Amino acid sequence: MPEQYAHTLIARDPEFAPTYGQIIAFFDGLTNIGASPVSAKLVVMKPSGRLRSFTDPLTGEKKSFPAHDRVVLENIADLASTIQMLQQYIVSLDGQGPPRRPPFALYHNGASFDGEYGFAVRCCLRAEPVCTSDLGDNEDRGALAEFGQSCSTLSETGRFRNPANGAVIEVAGAGCARFWVEFEFGKWLLPKIEDSLDILDPAITKLANWAFAMEFAQGLHLL
């Protein structure tokens, strides 16, 4: 079972990048329908030019990943000057759940969970299309890149490992993208997934389609 689960809305156009106005419209829309994190802070993560290195405890392999600068914004109007010149960023509403309109029901160890939890909604942009499939760790993925790594080819089909039973779910239009939205929940919490990832409250997917003028496919990311 993953420590943390994130549900993703993946832009079906792999080259799509939103304007700051579209991100503002999406976050405002979440608030208006009651789906925004409670007591949320608006945070921007942007490239710092530094690398952080660590040793994988399972393989002993040394790995590096780009470090980010964290900027907390007091006003959403400040978003324009913060990201408009960037090709890569994460804009996040970090707060608590459940909101008045949760994205879906959550479960802990198979039992319905109705307590409080950490909840974040993130708009993620990369400078080039990256893999948005996720088969989990230590899986035989063949030529498939790990989540967030550069796509050697713009794979149309996303492949995702169901954390409940290990089955692979394929999703058209979810293989690679520059832009996606993440809904991340507290530790050890999962939605109920059977043979489809189309589980988000339809009001949220409708809002995303409208705010970004883009169709999205649903996926997942295990952390």
117-144, pLDDT tens digit by residue?
999 999 999 999 999 999 876 556 666 7
Which residue would you say has higher pLDDT here, 22 or 140? 22
Write out the residue range of the structural domain in which residue 186 sits. 5-55+63-222
What is the reported pLDDT for 104? 97
Give me the mean pLDDT over the 39-50 stretch: 86
Please give the sequence-ordered ranges of beta strands (E in DSSP) within the chain, or none if there are none: 5-11, 38-55, 62-73, 89-97, 106-108, 111-113, 117-131, 157-161, 168-172, 176-185, 216-222
| Other Cβ atoms within 10 Å of 74 Cβ, number | 8
Which residue would you say has higher pLDDT here, 215 or 61? 215
Residue 65 confidence (pLDDT) above 70: no
Count of alpha carbons within 13 angstroms of residue 216, beta-carbon side: 31
- The tally of domains found in the chain comes to 1
Cα gap 143→146, rounded to integer Å: 10
Of the listed ranges 8-12, 58-62, 146-150, the one predicted with least confidence = 58-62
- pTM of the complete model: 0.90
What is the reported pLDDT for 96? 97
Characterize 135-151 residue by residue with b for buried, 16 or more Cβ atoms within 10 angstroms of its Cβ, and e for exposed. bbeeeeeeebbebeeeb
Tokens of 202: 């339809």
| Local structure of 222: helix, strand or coil | strand
Tokens of 53: 């290195």
Tokens of 81: 């000057």
Banded pLDDT at 46 (limits 50, 70, 90): confident
